[in-house]
């Protein structure tokens, strides 16, 4: 059974949690490229890495140990420390 | 008398309805009477609140969810109701032979039983149950929008994720908890208490109750939370400025009067420390309201350079057990015997550890020296302060016959310092007061700028000092506020 509660705020914002706004520019940012471990994800990331490099944007590659589980906390902390934007290759 | 509705579907259009529970001796006693009723032509519907096998040999409907007990507003078991044409026309509770005969129209019921035996409380009225039933089967009448989580979401984490907490877990504000909290006040849920800074968002009693639930308050604390909020919203308290200051300060709540004892507040051992639910949660509720309703968040409008842990909650009661001591609220105009909150813009706890002064004059000088450090030793009339006088320190004054007024007066005199020692640049320190005051004796605080509260454990020759907020130096515009607590 779902759990419900009441909003303690002035209800001036959306009921849904707002998404973090994308940065206005990638200049000076490091982009994390996360391979979740599914087939051909690395190909997508290869292309992205090359395209970013062409534009002079730094990127770093990361990989989940397995696509069947959530990313380890240490990996998420590492990405958050080293990058400002993340792109995740989600599917085959 | 309850008008039956379609929600009570399943009840006979004509006949008798009985609510019982196996755990009730009176219900056990009247079980033979129910079997007698079952043998009459009138339909009988028996609802059992705890054991569908009780009473034996009868067709019993399981009401362990208490839905029908709630819908028919059953407060006692057994309850016997007669229904005619779908409407309740008679009801009795417990066992009273004459009443049962009146309701049923039958004679000679319960032969061998005593004429009267009171019933037991309905499970639908067990403590904490009724609000759940209102939330589940009734109309909770709440206006705040409902947030429904996913099946696998954790409600505590959901509150963190939405930014609703002060960094500690909160109690999820479910309908049942909110309804229970609202039972702590006579005020209507929809009443607007005021506009909460910084966003000046209207805040209803219901929103106060929701945040009080989250803070961990009990319903009986709610009048204190409401009074504290109203005090914080008085223009003289300048809650907006106190919120956005770079200074350490936040609202400090001192509770006076009979409510402090009634709700179990702490004014004794560790009065400003952890361990007392009322102390910890009342101040927290006020801060959650500022955060959640007003939008006042650290790092956003709250610009405190360092802050202090009391911005989660700083609330305590004054020790009023010594009749020789005039309580703070009384000194600030509240009638003796009334309950009140005083809100002070403060921070920190600085000690005055003096275990050797025994004469009141000695202790006065000692306290004044410690108070000189408030804000900065070279500043004067820059902030207010609150002196928390421990019982053992107060005993020294009391033995000499000094009351609150005398202590205040003597401390004011003892806090006078030569302006030449305090002016900018004096003692090789850039900070200081105006050079214009070099030839004057300067008090540390303006008249009324030092609030004295008696609190603390019985052992310990040390008192505590809460420093004030520099904003209060414009003292005709901003100052502590005292407000009576209403039910």
**What is the signed CA dihedral for B328, B331, B334, B335, rounded to 10 degrees?**
110
CA B171 to the chain's CA centroid = 14
Mean pLDDT score, A54-70: 92
Residues contacting residue B324 through CB under 8 Å, at least 6 positions apart: B398, B403
> Of B209, B14, B252, B20, which Cα lies nearest the Cα of B121?
B20
Domain boundary among B123, B149, B167: B123
Do B150 and A2 make contact, defined as CB atoms within 8 angstroms?
Answer: yes
Tell whether A7 is within 8 A of chain B (Cβ): yes
Helix (H) or strand (E) holding B344: strand B340-353
Number of separate domains in chain B: 2
**Minimal CA separation from B200 to chain A, in Å:** 10
Q: Is the bond leading into B78 cis (omega within 30 degrees of zero)? A: yes
- Nearest chain A residue to B204, by CA: A10
Contact pairs from chain A to chain B, CB under 8 Å: 73
Residues contacting residue B282 through CB under 8 Å, at least 6 positions apart: B215, B217, B221, B224, B225, B228, B253, B255, B313, B315
Q: Give ipTM to 2 decimals.
A: 0.90
Tell whether A28 is within 8 A of chain B (Cβ): no
A14 pLDDT higher than 80? no
- Position B439 in a domain: yes
Do A10 and B178 make contact, defined as CB atoms within 8 angstroms?
Answer: no
Domain boundary among B123, B154, B171: B123
- Nearest chain B residue to A5, by CA: B174
Residue A4, strand partner residues: B148
Domain boundary among B82, B108, B123: B123
pLDDT values of chain B reduced to their tens digit, one per residue, 487 residues: 444 543 455 688 899 999 999 999 999 999 999 999 999 999 999 999 999 999 999 999 999 999 999 999 999 999 999 999 999 999 999 999 999 999 999 999 999 999 999 999 999 999 999 999 999 999 999 999 999 999 999 999 999 999 999 999 999 999 999 999 999 999 999 999 999 999 999 999 999 999 999 999 999 999 999 999 999 999 999 999 999 999 999 999 999 999 999 999 999 999 999 999 999 999 999 999 999 999 999 999 999 999 999 999 999 999 999 999 999 999 999 999 999 999 999 999 999 999 999 999 999 999 999 999 999 999 999 999 999 999 999 999 999 999 999 999 999 999 999 999 999 999 999 999 999 999 999 999 999 999 999 999 999 999 999 999 988 788 888 899 999 999 8
* B292 chain-A contacts, CB cut-off 8 A: 8-10
Token pair of B273, please? 């420390």
- Residues A20-56: pLDDT tens digits? 788 899 999 999 999 998 888 999 999 999 999 999 9
CB atoms inside a 10 Å sphere around CB B410 = 19
Q: Give, in degrees to the nearest 5, the angle at Cα B451 between B450 and B456.
A: 125
Cβ–Cβ under 8 Å, residues B189 and B143: yes
Structural domain boundaries of chain A? Answer: 30-89
- Find the CATH number of the domain harbouring B80: 3.40.30.10
- Position B457 in a domain: yes
- Position B467 in a domain: yes
Do A10 and B146 make contact, defined as CB atoms within 8 angstroms?
Answer: no
* Candidates A1, A4, A8, A19, partner chain B, best to mutate (most B CBs within 10 A): A8
* Candidates B161, B173, B296, partner chain A, best to mutate (most A CBs within 10 A): B173
pLDDT at B263: 98
* B178 chain-A contacts, CB cut-off 8 A: 6
- Position B214 in a domain: no
Q: Please report how the helices B277-292 and B205-215 are oriented relative to each other, as an axis angle in degrees rounded to 10.
A: 130
Q: Buried (b) or exposed (e) across B196-230, using 16+ Cβ within 10 A?
A: bbbbebebbbbbbbbbbbbbbbbbbbbbbbbbbbb
Note the pTM of the prediction, 2 decimals. 0.90
* B196 chain-A contacts, CB cut-off 8 A: 10
B472 vs B380, B383, B434, B449, CA distance in Å?
13, 6, 18, 9
- Position B463 in a domain: yes
- Position B101 in a domain: yes
What string of DSSP letters covers A26-38? -TT-EEEEEE-S-
* Candidates A9, A14, A16, A17, partner chain B, best to mutate (most B CBs within 10 A): A9
Sign of CA dihedral B270, B275, B277, B279: positive
Domain limits at B408?
A: 348-487
> Of B291, B284, B254, which Cα lies nearest the Cα of B271?
B254
- Position B143 in a domain: no
Do A10 and B199 make contact, defined as CB atoms within 8 angstroms?
Answer: yes
Helix (H) or strand (E) holding B70: helix B67-71
**E strands along B372-478, which residues?**
385-389, 417-418, 441-442, 450-454, 462-468
**Minimal CA separation from A48 to chain B, in Å:** 31
- Nearest chain A residue to B214, by CA: A8
Do A8 and B214 make contact, defined as CB atoms within 8 angstroms?
Answer: yes
CB atoms inside a 10 Å sphere around CB B440 = 15
* Candidates B162, B179, B180, B297, partner chain A, best to mutate (most A CBs within 10 A): B162
Do A8 and B196 make contact, defined as CB atoms within 8 angstroms?
Answer: no
């Amino acid at each position: 059974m779902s759990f419900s509660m009441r909003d303690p705020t002035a209800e001036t914002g959306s009921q849904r949690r707002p998404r973090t706004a994308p940065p206005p520019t990638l200049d000076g940012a490091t982009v994390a490229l996360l391979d979740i471990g599914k087939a051909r994800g690395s190909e997508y990331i290869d292309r992205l890495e090359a395209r970013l490099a062409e534009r002079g944007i730094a990127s770093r590659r990361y990989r989940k140990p397995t696509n069947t589980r959530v990313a380890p906390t240490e990996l998420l902390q590492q990405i958050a420390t080293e990058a400002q934007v993340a792109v995740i290759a989600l599917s085959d | 008398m309850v008008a039956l509705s379609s929600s009570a579907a399943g009840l006979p259009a004509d006949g008798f309805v009985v609510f019982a529970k196996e755990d009730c001796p009176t219900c056990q006693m009247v079980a033979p009477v129910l079997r007698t009723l079952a043998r009459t032509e009138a339909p009988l519907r028996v609802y059992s609140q705890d054991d569908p096998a009780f009473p034996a040999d009868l067709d019993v409907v399981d009401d362990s969810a208490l839905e029908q007990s709630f819908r028919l507003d059953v407060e006692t078991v057994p309850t016997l109701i007669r229904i005619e044409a779908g409407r309740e026309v008679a009801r009795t509770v417990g066992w009273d032979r004459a009443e049962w005969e009146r309701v049923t129209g039958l004679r000679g019921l319960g032969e061998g039983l005593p004429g009267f035996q009171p019933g037991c409380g309905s499970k639908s009225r067990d403590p904490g149950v009724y609000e759940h039933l209102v939330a589940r089967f009734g109309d909770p009448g709440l206006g705040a929008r409902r947030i429904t989580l996913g099946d696998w979401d954790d409600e505590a984490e959901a509150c963190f994720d939405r930014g609703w907490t002060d960094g500690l877990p909160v109690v999820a504000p479910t309908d049942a908890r909110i309804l229970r909290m609202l039972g702590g006040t006579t005020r209507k849920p929809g009443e607007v208490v005021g506009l909460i800074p910084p966003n000046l968002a209207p805040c209803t009693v219901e929103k106060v109750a929701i945040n009080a639930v989250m803070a961990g308050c009990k319903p009986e604390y709610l009048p204190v939370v409401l009074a504290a909020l109203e005090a914080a919203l008085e223009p003289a308290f300048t809650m907006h400025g106190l919120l956005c200051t770079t200074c350490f300060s936040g609202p400090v709540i001192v509770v006076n009067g009979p409510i402090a004892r009634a709700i179990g507040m702490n004014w004794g051992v560790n009065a400003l420390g952890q361990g007392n639910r009322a102390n910890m949660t009342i101040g927290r509720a006020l801060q959650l309201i500022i955060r959640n309703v007003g939008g006042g968040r650290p790092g956003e409008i709250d610009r405190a350079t360092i802050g202090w842990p009391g911005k989660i909650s700083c609330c305590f009661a004054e020790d009023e057990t010594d009749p020789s001591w005039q309580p703070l609220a009384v000194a600030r105009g509240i009638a003796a015997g009334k309950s009140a909150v005083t809100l002070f813009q403060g921070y920190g706890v600085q000690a005055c550890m003096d275990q050797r002064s025994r004469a009141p004059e000695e202790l006065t000088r000692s306290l004044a020296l410690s108070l000189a450090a408030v804000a900065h030793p070279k500043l004067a009339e820059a902030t207010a302060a609150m002196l928390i006088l421990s019982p053992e320190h107060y005993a020294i004054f009391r033995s000499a016959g000094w009351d609150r007024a005398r202590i205040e007066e003597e401390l004011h005199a003892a806090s006078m310092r030569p302006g030449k020692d305090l002016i900018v640049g004096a003692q090789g320190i850039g900070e200081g007061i105006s050079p214009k005051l070099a030839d004057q004796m300067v008090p540390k605080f303006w008249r009324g700028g030092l609030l004295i509260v008696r609190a603390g454990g019985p052992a310990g020759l040390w008192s505590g000092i809460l420093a004030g907020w520099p904003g209060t130096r414009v003292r005709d515009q901003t100052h502590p506020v005292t407000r009576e607590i209403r039910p």
